[in-house]
Amino acid sequence: MPEAQKRDPPWLILHRSGEDAKRLRAGLASAADFVEIDVWSEDGRASCRHDPLLIAGWPYLTRRYGLPWPRLRRLWLDEVEAAGRVFLDFKDPRLAVVEEAVGGLRRSGSLAGAIGSTPMWSHLDHLAELAPTVGRFYSIGRGAAGSAAWERYRERMGTEAAGWGVSIHQASADAGRLAALRGAGLRAICYVVNNEARGVELVEQGAGGLTSDRLDLISRWRDRWGSRE
């Protein structure tokens, strides 16, 4: 088991930290263990952005029912200096994004202690080849797709290919799955948890981490479970 996995307190992760530089600074100044950043490939560099996803088949609609405003200033991963605190969520389906992200983290001095997550096994396997010390978490959503992803992950449990665990939607994180992961020495990070009591419940059932939009909850959970260092 990787040394980082032996930490007893659950990991607390600020969601959407790559939305802009202000949000990133707030996350780094907070009690969060990690700042979560969505990563895309743009012009040969890893771009950090949490723009809403387009709805399949409706090119002018997004899940927020409006296109995002054009960004005049991009936040690039090689500008993020956050050694030991970067939690990447690979969104871009192109495999090149993994190489660009690893390169960006190296240039900024943030590769050590970084974590990568995605529902795309090709990306996780490539990450293992390029940077074997980076933690790898398989993303599991909710509903039927989440159940199918869980079964795919179970096929890898007990092997090196399983990585460090899963980043799992809280609706899919039932007590049985959390217990199975913990019993296998794997960490389950539940997302996106914006209710204090629900976060406590998940940790009591065996979750090894919580991803939240709310800095105030991260601060209260930190007080409950102990210091980041």
State the CATH number of the domain containing residue 20.
Answer: 3.20.20.190
Asked whether residue 140 is assigned to any structural domain, the reply reads yes
Task: Determine the structural domain holding residue 211 and report its residue range.
Answer: 8-225
Asked whether residue 3 is assigned to any structural domain, the reply reads no
The per-residue pLDDT for 19 is 82
Report residue 38: phi and psi, to 5°.
-75, 135
CA distance 214 to 34: 13
How many domains does the structure of the chain reveal?
Answer: 1
Q: Do residues 68 and 92 touch, judged by C-beta distance below 8 A?
A: no
The per-residue pLDDT for 61 is 47
Asked whether residue 1 is assigned to any structural domain, the reply reads no
Asked whether residue 171 is assigned to any structural domain, the reply reads yes
Q: Give SS3 for 96.
A: helix
CA distance 4 to 121: 22
The per-residue pLDDT for 25 is 94
- Long-range contacts (CB closer than 8 Å, 24 or more residues apart) made by 191-197: 191/13, 191/15, 191/167, 192/15, 193/217, 196/220, 196/221
Each residue's pLDDT expressed in tens, for the chain with a length of 229 residues: 444 444 579 999 999 998 888 999 999 999 999 999 999 998 899 999 886 554 445 544 444 444 444 555 679 999 999 999 999 999 999 999 999 999 999 999 999 999 999 999 999 999 999 999 999 999 999 999 999 999 999 999 999 999 999 999 999 999 999 999 999 999 999 999 999 999 999 999 999 999 999 999 999 999 999 977 7
Task: Say which residues have a Cβ less than 8 Å from residue 156's Cβ, sequence separation at least 6.
Answer: 138, 162
Asked whether residue 178 is assigned to any structural domain, the reply reads yes
The per-residue pLDDT for 104 is 97
